[in-house]
Amino acid sequence: MFSYRHAFHAGNHADVLKHTALIAVLRHMTQKDTALNVFDTHAGAGLYRLDGDYAQTSGEAANGYLKLVEALANAAKNGTDKNAPPTHPALQDYLDLVASFNKGVSHTVYPGSPFIIHNLLQGRDRDRLKLFELHPTDAKTLRANIAQLEAGRLVTVDQEDSFEALKKFLPPPSRRALVLCDPSYEMKTDYARVVGMMTDAVKRFATGTYMVWYPIIPRPEAHDLPRKLKTLAVREGRPWLNATLTVKSSKLTTDDEGEVVRPGLPASGVFVINPPHTLKATLVGALGQAAKFLAQDKNKAFEVESGG
Ligand code: SAM
């Protein structure tokens, strides 16, 4: 069994990118009243504590969501740079949504994708959210967290291998769907399985919106993934968008004792097939600010490319 637990990583810079993009996509898709099916193929535990043991051990939120909150609060307090632009609406939307899970000014709870999606589907009784989570512990926690929502038929949790299971649900009855695919890539085979799942999904349901998160790390499979997704989109004649956020260099360094220090995750991306037409402009603005505030060295960058 795999050992990845998202609790160590919740609220990191990759979550800032992924959840800001997810919110922007869903805001657009929920403008229409027609029923929507959302599939979160790698759901995680749903809710995370930023003051708990897991998050404290890794400290990743401190360089992600929490860093963003602090930087923006400082900018507002100092108000020294009168020409500084206000927080981009999409970044503010992300921050407000996360803050709504916390009381007052505390930032101890971080919502994972299932809770972010559920939040945006509230009041839309005909929508359906299907969550897949294979890890037994996280699936159990996810079920318990979801039970508290008393969401009834709106949300279902399946402890299944989503790479295999998704096909059973496409095309959805509503003919409108978002698939979020956010694996841990703990196993090298995940990269090929993502491409396989997306190829099959787009064939079954060409007009669905598909969003894949991927790490940008020095590994051939990771490097090839967005290229393969782009080939798929172009071959099937579907519009696509690829957005990346880099917060530091990917180079190995050495510490005072000469030991090699790995940089951790320096960058990640989201690849979207059939993105809302507004997404590119939204992400250019939001990621430009996020890159500035989350930079850990001078290698900060963002890129939003699209086609089709
Ligand atoms: N999407 C979540 C979020 O944004 O809050 C984080 C998900 S985490 C990166 C990936 C999750 O996928 C892990 O909890 C892992 O246990 C689960 N997982 C790994 N392989 C899976 C598979 N084949 N099917 C379903 N879940 C899987």
Confidence of residue 300 (pLDDT cuts 50, 70, 90): confident
Q: Which tokens belong to 228?
A: 């393969």
Domain CATH for 257: 3.40.50.150
**What are phi and psi for residue 178, nearest 5 degrees?**
-120, 130
Q: Tokens 């279902």 sit at which residue?
A: 156
Number of domains in the chain: 1
Asked whether residue 186 is assigned to any structural domain, the reply reads yes
**In a domain? residue 1:** no
Helix 279-294 vs helix 13-29: crossing angle, to nearest 10: 160
- Containing 156, the helix (H) or strand (E) segment is strand 155-158
Atom of ligand 1 nearest to the CA of 138: 14
Question: Could you give the CA distance from residue 121 to residue 135 in angstroms, rounded to a whole number?
Answer: 25
Q: In 222-294, which ranges are E strands? A: 240-246, 253-254, 260-261, 267-273
Fill in the DSSP letter of residue 166. Answer: G
Q: How far is CA 53 from CA 7, 177, 246, in A?
A: 9, 36, 27
Q: Per-residue pLDDT for 83 more than 70?
A: no
Strands 240-246 and 128-132: unpaired
**Number of the ligand 1 atom closest to the C-alpha atom of 19:** 4
CB 56 within 8 A of CB 10: no
Do 65 and 98 touch, CB atoms closer than 8 A? Answer: yes
- Distance (angstroms) between ligand 1 centre and the Cα of 225 equals 18
Instruction: Please tell me whether the peptide bond between 218 and the residue prior to it is cis, using omega within 30 degrees of 0.
Output: no
CA 258 to centroid of ligand 1, rounded, Å: 36
What's the domain range around 80?
Answer: 6-307
CA–CA gap between residue 16 and residue 92 (Å, rounded):
11
Say if ligand 1 is within 6 A of residue 44 CB.
Answer: yes
- Please state the rounded mean pLDDT for residues 210-239: 97
pLDDT of amino acid 79: 67
Q: Is residue 245 part of a domain?
A: yes
In a domain, 289, yes or no: yes
Give pTM, 2 decimals. 0.96
Terminal Cα distance for the chain, rounded: 39
Distance 236 CA to ligand 1 centre (A): 27
**Ligand 1 nearest-atom number relative to CA 46:** 5
182 lines ligand 1 (CB under 6 A): yes
- Centre of ligand 1 to C-alpha 9, Å, is 12
Query: What would the pLDDT profile of 46-68 be if each residue is shown by its tens digit?
Result: 999 998 887 777 789 999 999 99
**190 Cβ inside 6 Å of ligand 1:** no
Pocket of ligand 1 contains residue 43 by CB under 6 Å = yes
Please state, rounded to an integer, the average pLDDT across all residues of the chain: 94
Query: Ligand 1 in contact with 269 (CB < 6 A)?
Result: no
Q: How far is CA 241 from CA 176, 183, 255, in A?
A: 19, 19, 38
